[in-house]
Amino acid sequence: MPFIMILYYVITLFLIGMLLWNFVREKKSADDMLLYLLVLIPLIMRILRVK
């Protein structure tokens, strides 16, 4: 895997971590919780490399 691809996967992992962190910290808005989860979907699929 080229170095640039490794970087992209690292960025993806970082974004997943940030979204999960925000999801855990969110206490009031169910809408925001749902949005965090929806945004997570393509990132998780990318990391799992499901084809």
Partner 1 sequence: MRRVWTTKVLLASAVAALMTVAGIQLYEHRHHSLPIIAGPGVTKVAMLSDYAEGLKGTPADTFVFFLEGKEAGGKILIIANTHSNEPAAILTSLIFLENAIVEKGTLIIIPQFNNSGSRNTRPGDGYPLYFEIPTDWGKKKFRIGNREASPLDQWPDPDVYVHYPDRQLLSFLDVRNTNRTWPGRANGPLMERVTHAAMEIMRKEEVDIALDIHGAETMFPVTNCIVAPEKSMRIAMLTSLTVKAREGFENHVEPSPSGFRGLSHREIGDYSDALPFLLEAPIPFLDQPTGPKTVDLLLDGKDPFLLSLSKKGKLFVPYDESGWPMDKRVGQHCSVILEIMNQHSRKYPEKTTTIRNVPRYADVVEKGVGYYFHNPDETEKKNVYDI
If one asks whether residue 50 binds partner 1 (CB under 8 A), the answer comes out as: yes
**Considering the complex, what minimum distance in angstroms separates the CB of residue 49 from partner 1?**
8
Q: Residue 41 interacts with partner 1 (CB under 8 A)?
A: yes
**Rule CB under 8 A: is residue 47 a binding residue for partner 1?**
no
Residues of span 8-27 touching partner 1 by CB under 8 A: 8, 23, 27
How many positions of this chain bind partner 1 (CB under 8 A)?
A: 15
Give the chain's radius of gyration (CA, Å): 13
Percentage helix, strand, coil for the chain under 3-state DSSP, each rounded to 5 = 80, 0, 20
- Listing DSSP states for 35-47 in one string gives HHHHHHHHHHHHH
